Structure 1
Amino acid sequence: MIKDYKNDVENFKLIEYEAAMNQVNMEFDKALSGSPRIIREYTKHLLNSRGKFIRALSVLICAENQEGLVHPNAVTAAVAIEILHLASLVHDDIIDNADLRRGDVTLQKKYGKRTAVICGDYLLSIALRMMANIPNKKDYLDLEMPDYVGRLCLGELEQHINNFNINLTIYRYLKIISGKTAALFEASFYAGAIFSGASEKEIKRYKQLGFYIGMIFQLTDDCMDFEKTVEVANKPVQSDYEQGVITLPLIHALAEEKSLKEKASNQGLTRAEINDAVRKTEGLQFTRMVVKKYYNKSLKIINELDLSESKKERLTLVLNKATRLS
C-alpha cells in the first residue's frame, strides 16, 4: 500500500537514471568486496562473473518519473534484488553440480558445495537486510521481499520434485517457472513502479509486465539449452535433461510422440534422441510461440502505460533482452 510517496520525495534528492545505474554497480561491488574477512574471498570470486544486471536495470527503469529521475532508495532495492538473484544462482549451481557460470568457474566447483551453500545463504541475508534498512520504507513501500523469496524457493523445490517427470504438463511447468524465474522479475518491476510514484492500478500493470518478461526470459533460456554452445551461453548447455530438468521443448516432444515417452520411461533418453525428437516435433518453434504470446502481452502493457518516450524505449529494450533480441 502506498501512503505518502510525494512527501517522501521532498526529503530525498532524485538522481538521473545513468547516475543511478552507476551507483548500483558501485554498491553491488562494495557489498561483495566489503564482506567480513572470513567470507570475502568467496564473495569477491563472484564479482568475476557478474551478469548483465537485467533485474537491477528493470528496477531503475520502472522507478523513473516523467522527468527521467530516480528515487535514491530504488538503487538500494535494485542492488538487493540483484544480490538475491546471485544467491539463487549460487544455490542453483550446487544443485546442478555446475562447473561454469557466466564464463567463469562456479563457487561450488572452486571451493566446494558446503562453502557455496553458506555463501549463498550469506548473500540472501545481505539482500534482505538491504531491503529492511531502506529509510522511511513504511511511509510509501509495502514490498514484501520475503514473499518473493518464498515464491522463488517453492518454484525451485517444485522443479526438483519434478526432476525426470516425463508426465509433467505444460500448465505445471509454467507454474514452476513462474516462481523460480518470473517472481524476481515481478519483484523488480513492482519495486521500481512504487518508487516512481505510480498509482495502485499502474503498479498492478507493472507487476504483470515483470511477470511476463520473467516468463519470456526462462522460456528463451530453455531454447538456448538446445541451440547455443558453452562459449556463447557462458554456462553449460545440452544439460537440462541430464540434470533431470524437463523443459518446455521436451514436454512438447513427449506429448507429441507417445513412443518417446515410453522409451524415456523404460530406458531413458540419450541427448541425441532428445535433440532429434525436439527437432521433429518442432519443440523449439512451439516454445517460441508461447514466448511470442507473452511478448505481445508485454508490448500491450508498455503501450498502455503513461510513459515518457525514453522510459518506453528502455522498457522495450529490457523486453528484447529477455527475448535475446538485443
Structure 2
Amino acid sequence: MEKLAYEESYELVKEEIQKALTNSPRIINEYLTHLSAAQGKMIRAVSVLTCAQDEEGKINPSAVHAAAAIEIIHLASLVHDDVIDDADLRRGKETLQKKYGKRTAVICGDYLLSLALKMTAAIPNRKDYEDYEDMNLPNYISRLCLGELLQHINNDNLNLTVFEYIKIISGKTAALFEASFLAGAIMGGYPAEEIKKYRKIGNYAGLIFQMQDDCLDFDETVEQAKKPVQSDYEQGVITLPVIYALGQLPDFKKKAAEGCIGRADINRAVEKSGGLNFTKQMIGRYYKKAERCISRLDTTEEKRRKITAIVKKATGMKVEL
C-alpha cells in the first residue's frame, strides 16, 4: 500500500471516526451522532500517526485504522466517566448521560468499545507487522478498566500514597497513551528495541497528562476546561495535590477525616502546602525522563521534535501538534 502524508492521515482518522459514529445502526445512531458533534484534541491519534512516521514523514495507512480505534476507546472511557461522575458537560457540550440518561450512556460506551475492537480486527495487512500481536488493545482496555476500578476502591482514601496514586493513573490514563505510542511504532515497522522506547515515552506522556489534569481542577474555570472543575474531591477522587496537602498538614487531614472540609478548605490547604508546586515538580521529572527516551530514538530530528511537542502538550503547554 502507498504511504500517506501526515495531514492526509490525520483527516482520514477524523473521517473514519465520524463515519463509525454517524453510520452506526439506527437504534444507536442518534446517541453516537450526539457524541460526534464534540471533537476532542485527538492527542492519542496524533501520537499514533507521529510515531508511525518514517524518515520521510510518511505513514502506513494501517496506522489510520489503529489511531481511529484508540480514539474510539478513549471516547468510550469518557462516556463511562461522565456516568460515574454525574457530569453535565464534556468538551463544552452536554454529556450523553445528561441528555439521554445513565443507562443509555453506559450501553453506548460498551458499544463503542466493541466498535473499536472491530476496527482493530479490520486493520488491513496485519500480518505484515512482525510485532502486531504486541499491540494487544484488549489488554490496554483491561488496564484502563482496572485503573478506574482501583481509583474507585480508593475513593475517600485519605492515606493514599504517591506510589499508589501512580499505580492508579498508570492504568486509567497512561495505558491508552502507551497504547498510542506503541501502535504507532508497530505500524511504523520499527524493531523491537525501538518499540520499547516508544512505549515508555507513551507511558510517561500519559502520567504527565493526568497530573496536569489534576492541576486543572484548581487552575481553571469550567469555561476554560469545558468540563466540570473543582469537583474531584467531591467525587471522592484523591488527586496528587491533595495527597501532598494531606501529608503536609496533619490538622487538615484530621478535619478531612471528620468530614469537616469544603472546597475552600481544600483550595487553601493545597495552596499552603504547595501541593500544586509538588505536582508540577513531578510533571517536570517525568518530562525529563521522556526527553531522555526521545533523545535515544533512532529517528530524524524532525520526528523527535514532533514527539517532544506531544509530551509538551501533555504538560499543558500551548504547542501546535
**Could you state the TM-score of these two structures normalised by the residue count of structure 1?**
0.95
What residue number does 2:91 align with? 102
What residue number does 1:26 align with? 15
Give per-residue Cα distances to partners, 1:214-242, cap 9 Å, x unaligned. 00000000001001000000000000000
Q: In 2, distance between residues paired with 1:196 and 1:67?
A: 12
1:128 to 1:268, Cα distance in 2 relative to 1, 3 A:
farther
Q: In 1, distance between residues paired with 2:304 and 2:101?
A: 44
Is residue 2:235 matched to residue 1:243?
A: yes
Please give the secondary structure, in 2, of the residue aligned with 1:316.
Answer: helix
Please give the secondary structure, in 1, of the residue aligned with 2:37.
Answer: helix
- Unpaired segments of 5 or more residues in structure 2? none
Greater CA deviation, 314-323 or 300-309?
A: 300-309
The residue type equivalent to 1:167 in the other structure is N
Please give the secondary structure, in 2, of the residue aligned with 1:290.
Answer: helix
What residue number does 1:129 align with? 118
Q: 2:27 aligns with which of 38, 47, 50?
A: 38
Q: 2:211 aligns with which of 216, 219, 242?
A: 219
What residue number does 2:104 align with? 115
Is residue 2:40 matched to residue 1:51?
A: yes
What residue number does 1:65 align with? 54
Q: Considering only aligned residues, what root-mean-square deviation do their CA atoms show, in Å? A: 0.8
Q: In 1, distance between residues paired with 2:299 and 2:314?
A: 20
Q: 2:64 aligns with which of 75, 81, 95?
A: 75
Q: In 2, distance between residues paired with 1:127 and 1:135?
A: 15
What residue number does 2:180 align with? 188
Q: Percent identity?
A: 59
Q: In 2, distance between residues paired with 1:50 and 1:91?
A: 17
Q: Give the superposition deviation at 1:165.
A: 0.7
- Unpaired segments of 5 or more residues in structure 1? 1-11
Q: Give the superposition deviation at 1:138.
A: 3.5
Tell me the number of residue pairs that the alignment of Structure 1 and Structure 2 aligns.
315
The residue type equivalent to 1:181 in the other structure is T
Q: In 2, distance between residues paired with 1:46 and 1:169?
A: 36
Is residue 2:247 matched to residue 1:258?
A: no
Q: In 2, distance between residues paired with 1:124 and 1:205?
A: 27
What residue number does 1:8 align with? none
What residue number does 2:311 align with? 319
What residue number does 2:262 align with? 270
Give per-residue Cα distances to partners, 1:283-313, cap 9 Å, x unaligned. 0000000000000111111111122232122
Give per-residue Cα distances to partners, 1:236-286, cap 9 Å, x unaligned. 000000011000000000000111111111124200000000000000000
Give per-residue Cα distances to partners, 1:48-103, cap 9 Å, x unaligned. 22200000000000000111110100000000000000000000000000000011
Q: In 2, distance between residues paired with 1:174 and 1:95?
A: 21
The residue type equivalent to 1:24 in the other structure is V
What residue number does 2:4 align with? 15
Please give the secondary structure, in 2, of the residue aligned with 1:49.
Answer: coil
The residue type equivalent to 1:165 in the other structure is N
Q: In 2, distance between residues paired with 1:238 and 1:283?
A: 15
Listed as ranges, the matches of 1:271-310 within 5 Å are 271-310=263-302
**Could you state the TM-score of these two structures normalised by the residue count of structure 2?**
0.97
Q: Give the superposition deviation at 1:136.
A: 3.0
